[in-house]
Structure 1
Amino acid sequence: MSLRRFLAPLAAGLLLTTACGAAGGGQSDPGSPRPSEADAAAAAAELLADMSVEEKVGQLLVLTAAGTTAEENAELISEYHPGGFIYFPENLTDVEQITALSNGLQERAADDSGIPLFLGVDQEQGLVARLPVGARFPDAMAVGATRDPEAAASLASTTAAELAALGINLDYAPVADVNVNPDNPVIGIRSFGSDPELVGEMAAAEAAAFAEAGVVPVIKHFPGHGDTDVDSHTGLPTVTKSREEWERVDLPPFQAAVEAGADMIMTAHVFMPELDDSGEPSTLSENVITGILRDELGYDGVVTTDALNMEGVRQTHDDGEIAVRAVLAGADQLLMPPDPRTAYDAVLAAVQEDRITEERLDESVLRVLELKLRRGLFDAGPADAGQAAEVVGSADHTAAAQQVADASVTLLRNENGVLPLREGAAVRVTGSGADGIAAALRDLGYRTTDSAADADVTVVGTNGARGDAEQRAVVSDARSGGTPVVVVAQGTPYDIAALPGLDGYLAVYSSVDVSLTAAARVLAGEVNPSGRLPVDIPDTDLAFGDGLGY
């Protein structure tokens, strides 16, 4: 029987695993004992010694799952022996299907290489949430507005409990980027804010809670994606700030993560000439990954690339060369190569030709195996659909999400005490999220109307109005109606700079249901607005830390 199917008890007497084929590699008990770093390293070394070069190369690959069943991924597993899969909405339908998919994938991996899979997902919450089921929390910027690390921990522990119940053992979260560019097209409300200390504190709280609940957190996107004006999905952003400014603004959250022993850090497809003037994105930069992250900061955890199908990393090399260069730069996992065969063959050939030495390959595989051991993947049992149905989207989890949303609402304008709404006021609600806000107001006893003439107050929802003339026109039209106008901003709070003359302005930083409900509760005075701005707002008198109450 392969060593990878049964690990012998180690010197410390800790039984690390049962048969992978029996356990299924699904849901682990976060409270069960975990091997020490030394034990995990010893077990990983034994596993490595029993692996072929082909299997080692496979552990570097994290592939996009195909379809909704394990059978549809059987060939991917047998061909490439991957280290993991990432799920997207097209892979996921309901609790029963997701647990069956997770269990089936782990069973096939056990039969193939005997090594459990990382099964990951982008479940940041808010804007980036792939699951069709479960509690939905607001975005990270809302969490930053609470100023409460416990809110970050609540989001992560709740999310992790639901992921683990579904057999998902890794989350590509939290975002540790410091959003200092109001025009950032890809980070924005996915960031906790513009203050490095706040971002670092919140990211650390989330990462610790994920890990404690048995899900591997991935800190992203090193060396920082918060000051970009190009979406790296569609192009390569260039960040021209000095090394000194980068160290002051972008580095602190990642440095804190390294010092806390972060499980995994994701690279960014950004070009920072002051960190590496080669013209390569950081994902392919040996200076950034090995030179700065590993040698200068001392990080020895797993480094994963951002998705390799993004245009930000595909500007100057073919897909096979990109995979090779990422490994040479210091990456341990290659996320979502657009063509698994091309990436696998290119890396395998580079090893066989000694362009990537086997020693370098082994470094990455050992890191991956050690993390899987430390986080209990080898002793995980299969996900139970019945148990998952009780956990995922439970009343307690939904209440936790509502609590975070309520605490995040930030009141930035309240002229003439227009808020809270007087009892019995007629309210016209229009714009982004209007249906959700109106329904929540009706639940609180308010009458809503479609008529501006019949309204005592007009509430306009916005989401990115700063860059959307049509949304600004809706607000302007409401102001011309003669009734007080209150804006509920569901994207970044920067909208206020483009919306003069408002009577009231609430920032909720998210368009999820709990944020719309929280907005209504603050409008009605059921909740006292306690959120504080997590960013500075250019061209206004508003700054980090501002916020009004009742």
Structure 2
Amino acid sequence: MRDSGTEGRGNTARPSRRTVLTATAGVTATATVGGTAQAGTVHAGTGDRLRGLISRMTLEEKVGQLFVMRVYGHSATAPDQADVDANLREIGVRSAAELIARYRVGGIIYFAWAHNTRDPHQIAGLSNGIQKASLELPHGVPVLISTDQEHGIVARVGKPATLFPGAMAIGAGRSRSDARALGRIAGRELRAMGIRQDYSPVADVNVNPANPVIGVRSFGADPQAVAALVAAEVAGYQRSGVAATAKHFPGHGDTDVDSHTGFPVIKHSREQWERLDAPPFRAAIAAGTDSVMTAHLMVPALDDAGDPATLSRPILTGILREQLGYDGVVVTDSLGMAGVRTKYGDDRVPVLALKAGVDQLLNPPEPDVAWNAVLKAVQDGELTEERLDESILRILRLKAKLDLFDEPYVSRAGVSRTVGVRPHLAAADRIAERTTTLLVNERRLLPLSRRRHPRLLVVGADPASPSGTTGPPTRVLADALTELGFTATARSTGTAPSAAVIERAVAAAAAADAVVVGTYNVTASSSQKTLVERLAATGRPVVAIALRNPYDVAHLPSVPACLAAYSWTDVELRAAARVIAGRVEPRGKLPVDVVRADAGEQVLYPVGYGLSY
């Protein structure tokens, strides 16, 4: 038996009451009968034991299996008092264990802001505590634990776990092998911590530079290139034993509205949807993706009823299930987002989502309201129990595929030998080196020379780390350049530098031989643009690094050298530093068009553009 090492130690050997089964041929399963563990064999293809488990569930237990909920705290049973207070305020329970006991939830999602992901061993302990709390209940079923570990700008688990470049950086690298390796390594680390469903990869094709919510989370603007990388990453994750999730169906790439705060409308015709949005989802399905996440947006060409796709039967059942032939798990995006709440109340949204064809209901804002609404819909006949059974069977099949019935717990030793180990970190660095894109290099300014440019000033935006464990970017860049033989000084100027901040940066540039400036979503009126212009006017060589969107370069005509890093995470900044120092060649190619700032229809740098030394 495995030693969990943290919460749940020893409970892999003698759970109090649970049923464990598997859908894998020839695998020994354990069932608890009268408190004594007995062995048995389950054969593939029948699904009889899964259906038998469903038949023994009460209606309340069935409803619970459909929900994936957040919960605050680093521990399943003993969260900090502040997290207890947050749980009571938002969910009506004190802890994850109480959440499971009350609602019998089938899944739990981890967030850094919910204090679920402090460090790998703590995460593993929380996972074990959650499984123990569920498996000790009557008809106990293992919990499918999930998170959003996209890498790049969205990462819930930080260092010392391995952090990779994000999707658009991978798109710039154009390597299916790298995408597959990312999924395989990241999946191994998540599984070692007890997380077996990752809400990644993003399958949206980002054809709108003004997209406020997808952007660099997408592999790019070329549907076929995105499709190839999505399929590769899906394969990598699932070979590691973690369920991948292609999102956000039917496609969130062409919008200028954030579905977290508004209700986007995609105006693509059906032909445009088939050509632009559908290919990555088709590729993900062909690659066997275990789950697909819905989008809270309207596509009138696919369903003109005015409902978000999450609540659209023509989209989820008619297109996803019937036309694309997908029979895996469909999970909603968070039900707390504005895009799904603008038309219906929180009591109607989960019911309508199930009627549309959804299986998992993710993170409703008021779980009591949502859970009771689904229960009442069945009791009133609006939903049938058979409809719930269809979704529960898909969910249980996925849990069986992921070995949750056989191996619900993880071990401390497994974390130590898997998470953030040297070979994984080295792989992330190698992948990052293939993504940095050189867009401007006047008079061959780059690479900088330690002889001619020994003293560097690093200034610019310092956005918060996506995982809370990296950065700030100016310091990371300065440290990396210093390790490469320069003397680099960091000075944060922020995303909206004031006139006084700009003056101090310009004064500091007088003591430097060259300036490296990190930019973050520059606009025509941004004071970041003024900062770069003022620094360039000093006569000192200036190298700009776009820390997020590569579109920044269109607003920086005065800069003699510009790189796109696609994110401000440490691994990408270290790679950019090696490019600046000439230790590696810039190999990345733009995965999106960059249009002129003064003429949005004219392409300044097309897909595939990228300079080398």
Three-state SS of the structure 2 residue aligned to 1:266 is strand
Deviations 1:489-520, CA, capped at 9 Å, x for gaps: 11111111111132111111110111111111
- Tell me the residue number matched to 1:385: 412
Residues in 2 aligned to 1:381 and 1:84: alpha-carbon distance in whole angstroms:
13
Is 1:456 aligned to residue 482 of structure 2? no
Residues in 2 aligned to 1:19 and 1:406: alpha-carbon distance in whole angstroms:
51
Map residues 259-278 of structure 1 onto 2, 5 A cutoff: 259-278=286-305
- Tell me the residue number matched to 2:153: 127
- Tell me the residue number matched to 1:153: 180
1:101 aligns with one of 126, 133, 138: 126
- Tell me the residue number matched to 2:60: 54
- Tell me the residue number matched to 1:522: 579
State the percentage of identical aligned residues.
48
Three-state SS of the structure 2 residue aligned to 1:379 is coil
Residue type at the aligned position of 2:611: L
- Tell me the residue number matched to 1:506: 563
Contact 2:533-2:559 at 8 Å conserved across structures: no
Residue type at the aligned position of 1:5: T
2:608 aligns with one of 538, 545, 548: 545
Q: How has the CA–CA distance of structure 1 residues 345 and 277 changed in structure 2, closer, same or farther, with 3 Å as cutoff?
A: same
TM-score by length of 2: 0.84
Three-state SS of the structure 1 residue aligned to 2:53 is helix
- Tell me the residue number matched to 1:422: 449
Map residues 130-529 of structure 1 onto 2, 5 A cutoff: 130-133=156-159, 134-424=161-451, 425=453, 426-432=455-461, 433-448=473-488, 451-466=508-523, 469-529=526-586
* Shift of residue 166, structure 1, vs aligned partner: 1.0
Residues in 1 aligned to 2:205 and 2:22: alpha-carbon distance in whole angstroms:
45
Residue type at the aligned position of 1:517: R
Contact 2:296-2:308 at 8 Å conserved across structures: yes
Deviations 1:335-385, CA, capped at 9 Å, x for gaps: 001111111111111111111112211111111111111221111152112
Structure 1 stretch displaced more, 323-332 or 476-485: 476-485
Residues in 2 aligned to 1:203 and 1:9: alpha-carbon distance in whole angstroms:
27
Three-state SS of the structure 2 residue aligned to 1:91 is coil
Residue type at the aligned position of 2:68: V
Q: How has the CA–CA distance of structure 1 residues 326 and 480 changed in structure 2, closer, same or farther, with 3 Å as cutoff?
A: same
- Tell me the residue number matched to 1:533: 590
Contact 1:20-1:116 at 8 Å conserved across structures: no
Contact 1:116-1:377 at 8 Å conserved across structures: yes
Residues in 1 aligned to 2:525 and 2:399: alpha-carbon distance in whole angstroms:
45
Runs of 4+ in 1 over 4 A off after TM superposition: 1-4, 16-22, 33-36
Residues in 1 aligned to 2:99 and 2:166: alpha-carbon distance in whole angstroms:
34
Three-state SS of the structure 1 residue aligned to 2:260 is coil
Residues in 2 aligned to 1:387 and 1:88: alpha-carbon distance in whole angstroms:
22
Residues in 2 aligned to 1:494 and 1:174: alpha-carbon distance in whole angstroms:
22
Residues in 2 aligned to 1:21 and 1:527: alpha-carbon distance in whole angstroms:
64
Structure 1 stretch displaced more, 107-116 or 411-420: 107-116
Contact 2:21-2:406 at 8 Å conserved across structures: no
Residues in 2 aligned to 1:304 and 1:507: alpha-carbon distance in whole angstroms:
33
Three-state SS of the structure 1 residue aligned to 2:605 is coil
1:15 aligns with one of 28, 32, 41: 28
Residues in 1 aligned to 2:392 and 2:72: alpha-carbon distance in whole angstroms:
24
Residue type at the aligned position of 1:56: K
Question: As a proportion of its length, which structure holds more helix?
Answer: 1
TM-score by length of 1: 0.93
Q: How has the CA–CA distance of structure 1 residues 16 and 198 changed in structure 2, closer, same or farther, with 3 Å as cutoff?
A: farther
Contact 1:95-1:385 at 8 Å conserved across structures: no
Residues in 2 aligned to 1:547 and 1:436: alpha-carbon distance in whole angstroms:
24
- Tell me the residue number matched to 1:26: none
Q: How has the CA–CA distance of structure 1 residues 190 and 34 changed in structure 2, closer, same or farther, with 3 Å as cutoff?
A: farther
* Shift of residue 214, structure 1, vs aligned partner: 1.0
Residue type at the aligned position of 2:235: A
Three-state SS of the structure 2 residue aligned to 1:378 is coil
- Structure 1: runs of 5 or more not aligned: 23-32
